[in-house]
Amino acid sequence: MSAQRHGRRSRSTPAVRAAFGAAGAAYIASCAVGTGVATGVLDLRGARWVHHALYVGTVALAGAAVSSLVWSPSRAGWSLLPAAVPLAALARLGPRFPRHPFVALSAAPFFVAGFVHSRK
């Protein structure tokens, strides 16, 4: 029997899936650029703003995905919400903090969990 026949609504909508997909893509892009800079594969001396823009985009898109708790029946936002702690810490600690990569990567499980839950 379908969920509709029992009066239950679908927990995930296309907008929710898109929000979590965009947040995850921005996070992956930011991590990829940061890793490239840290390993010397990328030289952004003249364009450091690129990594900063990716970080700001990641925070904004993650916030939009978490806001799905308010505007959709999906509860996937609860899975991504804890990522706010390391993302906020990165802004406070700055890029020269020796453990910057570890703080950034500590958000990964929450992005994965949010993405997975948004697909249910």
Residue range 39-46: mean pLDDT, rounded: 89
Q: Is residue 45 part of a domain?
A: yes
Structure tokens at 78: 């609860």
**Mean pLDDT value across the chain:** 89
Q: Is residue 36 part of a domain?
A: yes
C-alpha to C-alpha distance for 96 and 73, rounded to whole angstroms: 40
Residue range 41-52: mean pLDDT, rounded: 88
pLDDT band of 44, cuts 50, 70, 90: confident
- pLDDT of 5: 43
Determine the structural domain holding residue 18 and report its residue range.
Answer: 14-118
Q: Which helix (H) or strand (E) element contains residue 31?
A: helix 14-39
pLDDT band of 10, cuts 50, 70, 90: low
Q: Is residue 5 part of a domain?
A: no
Q: Is residue 7 part of a domain?
A: no
Q: Is residue 3 part of a domain?
A: no
| DSSP single-letter state for residue 47 | -
Q: Is residue 1 part of a domain?
A: no
What values do phi and psi take at 9, rounded to 5? -90, 155
Give the pTM: 0.86
pLDDT surpasses 90 at 109: yes
Q: Is residue 106 part of a domain?
A: yes
Q: Is residue 8 part of a domain?
A: no
Residue range 49-76: mean pLDDT, rounded: 94
Q: How many domains does the chain have?
A: 1
